[in-house]
Amino acid sequence: MKKILLAPSILSANFSNLEKEIIDVMSSGADLIHFDVMDNHYVPNLTFGSMVLKSLRKSNITSRIDVHLMARPLENLIHDFLKAGADSIFFHPECTDHIDKILNIIKEYGCQTGLVFNPATSLCCLEHVIDKVDNIVLMGVNPGFGGQSFIDSTLGKIRKVRSIIENSKLKILLHIDGGVNLKNIADISRAGSDVFIVGSVVFESKNYFSILKKLREQANN
Ligand code: DX5
Ligand code: ZN
């Protein structure tokens, strides 16, 4: 059975108690944390910076934290998040003219890399840098907000990326980000996703343990 990874996105968490929310979801069965950075420029919303990540690390949050950078320009932010304790930094190729250079900077720091593709963004840049990519993230929604509905055409794109990964023979994790819920997670899993980024479906539920257990069961269906 393939390994299912559930990654709660803290965008939908209670920000006034972020440390406790992370401890609660991780002790309820989550595998890693998805940290949505929004700059109100590349996407029409504003969230948190590297200082928040730094203070979470200071309060002994040791879980894997994937930083999803929805920011442009991003060059100056990369170093801040590397130093703040990101385990992975995922960015949108549209946000820089220097995809290869940014991937090298992240890799040389010993951090995992990731490219994020919006629903209508082509996968073509993968051809030139796939050997430097540890994670591929497909957006199931247009970036900027939690609680949106999953765009069904993403399923075809997941299958396409799954075959690109298989043919590359590289160890790359395929994440789906946005709109994942109990109804569609089985289809998304069958299409080929490894990591399920789950925001509102988790943080809007009263019982993190039970919703994460149900999501995992459905994804393994
Ligand atoms: C959207 C973010 C997603 C979002 C997922 O721009 O990148 O990570 O928070 O939230 P849900 O699961 O509620 O769609
Ligand atoms: Zn995200």
Q: What would the pLDDT profile of 93-107 be if each residue is shown by its tens digit? A: 999 999 999 999 999
Domains held by the chain: number: 1
**13: confidence class by pLDDT, cuts 50, 70, 90:** very high
- Given this model, what pLDDT does residue 157 score? 98
Residue 131 — pLDDT band, cuts 50, 70, 90?
very high
Tens-place pLDDT, residues 45-92: 999 999 999 999 999 999 999 999 999 999 999 999 999 999 999 999
Q: What is the CATH number of the domain that holds 186?
A: 3.20.20.70
**Nearest Cα residue to atom 3 of ligand 1:** 178
Question: How far does residue 202's CA lie from ligand 2's centre (Å)?
Answer: 14
State which residues have CB under 5 angstroms from ligand 2, the bound ion: 36, 68, 177
Kindly report, residue by residue over 149-204, the tens digit of the pLDDT.
999 999 999 999 999 999 999 999 999 999 999 999 999 999 999 999 999 999 99
pLDDT greater than 90 at residue 221? no
* Cβ neighbours around 125 below 10 Å, total: 16
Nearest CA to ligand 1 atom 4: 146
Domain coverage including residue 64: 5-220
**CB-defined site of ligand 1, < 6 Å:** 9, 11-12, 34, 36, 68, 141, 143-144, 146-148, 177-180, 197-201
Q: Is 146 assigned to a binding site? A: yes
Q: Is the pTM of this model over 0.90?
A: yes
Q: Give residue 2's pLDDT.
A: 78
Instruction: Report DSSP letters for the chain, one per residue.
Output: -PPPEEEEBGGGS-GGGHHHHHHHHHHTT---EEEEEEBSSSSS-B---HHHHHHHHHTT--S-EEEEEE-SS-HHHHHHHHHHT-SEEEE-GGG-S-HHHHHHHHHHTT-EEEEEE-TT--STTHHHHGGG-SEEEEESS-TT-SSPPP-TTHHHHHHHHHHHHHHHT---EEEEESS--TTTHHHHHHHT-SEEEESHHHHTSS-HHHHHHHHHHHHT-
